[in-house]
Structure 1
Amino acid sequence: MRVKALCFLPVWLLCLAAPALAADVQVAVAANFTAPMKRIAAEFEKDSGHKAVLSFGATGKFYAQIRHGAPFEVFLAADDETPKKLAQEGAAIDGSRFTYATGRLVLWSAQPGLVDAQGDVLRKGGFSKLAIAAPKLAPFGAAAVETLTRLGVMAALEPKLVTGESMGQAFSFVATGNADLGFVALSQVHEGGKLKTGSAWIVPETLHSAIRQDAVLLAKGKDKPAAQQLLAFLKTDKAKAVIRSFGYQP
């Protein structure tokens, strides 16, 4: 009996140790990347056993929170400048930054037929409220302002602007009818190559600066293997396929 017990000892130890290998990763995610990141996190947990605990919001607000000691270990921003700045300031690990997606801006309305294929609705009017994300907090909001300025309609439409603190809130304004139309991320209204509902104009990339979205390992995740594995997972073909399905370029 003693020999039998010794034979089972390694198996028992493995069973006990297995749960300890899994870990939670605290992740700050730009609001525009909410839907794809939820799917990526599920695949990551399935493959690695680690759980990505996701918080969604505006890139600018996350920057302030991280600088004030928020417990995030990985940051998926909506731009490339904020992660770079965090690395320069010592709040992120230098050399860990990379572009995980290039975002696309879209003018969208929940109402079919309101937004035309050329975006001429912005010049013609016929709407009372236009939603955007706060340009100082959300890079997509800055891209929206840049687009309106280049089209020469910023001054005329400024009284109609409804500003959300994040892309999530800007999208909510349009989805609930509190704004007739708005500038949102293509990922919020696009999945599997199709527009979910309503009408939309995908803004030409010539009308605003490229929306390069960078990920970075934060200082609090430096010694966390699970955090490093999540960043590595974002570079896999499986994650890239999800990213593409929501209208981004990996």
Structure 2
Amino acid sequence: MEEARVAVVIEDEEDIRSLLSAVLTQAGFEVHGAANGYDGLELVRQHDPLVTTLDVNMPGIDGFETAKRIRAFSGTYIVMLSARTEEIDALQGLEAGADDYVAKPFRPRELRARIDAMLRRPRHHVAAPPATPEASDGAPTWLEHQGLRLNTDMRVVTVDGEDLDLTRSEFDILADLLAAGRRVRGKSDLALMLRGEQFTGVEFVSDSDARAIEVHVANLRRKLGESPTNPRWIETVRGVGYRLTAP
């Protein structure tokens, strides 16, 4: 059965909240709006939305804290919106559990395109999967590299036998790198992958998209506990992108 298309908009500015609601309604969502983080949390609990848009600067608890609290119980796609465009703000938003970080003012068509791209990617549920995931034919489907193991079917990652908690974007980037092996994956390739597209030479990948990949990889490395200057798993190819380290 197709998942209900419900969205929650958490935004303290009424005109922007109305605009976001209109964009999502046109995309086929049933939309519920809140003017602050506390009310937004209750709406997410009540409606279990597929998508949640979240403003950063709000009264009460800000968007970063709201995202962290949502992530503790919900697998909703989180799109964070903010007039703060510094890279550290995007980093903080993605660390809090956001799937995307969009700068204000935004173009409604671009926002809808980003949401459509997210919906083409598997949704990560909060509930823990079985300890021994298997493919439909009974054989485990693991990608492995130097103590790092990833199961694409069950979306499980372990490092030296310990479970690793990743966001959806971090998981998808890691899976892509593991599948590519020693082949270099450019930042544009990874950005398009997150958007559900493949590189054909005509797609537009912005500087902010490339910076978002850098942020995701930085978060991924932090969670893996590796140094970019002496990596165990992910090697930077300067000016190009990333690949797995040599065995």
| Class of the TM-score when normalised by the shorter of the 2 chains | under 0.3
Which structure: greater helix fraction?
A: 1
- The TM-score with structure 1 as length reference comes to 0.27
Q: Which has the higher contact order (CA 8 A, sep 6+)?
A: 1
- Whichever of the two has the greater Rg, that structure is 1
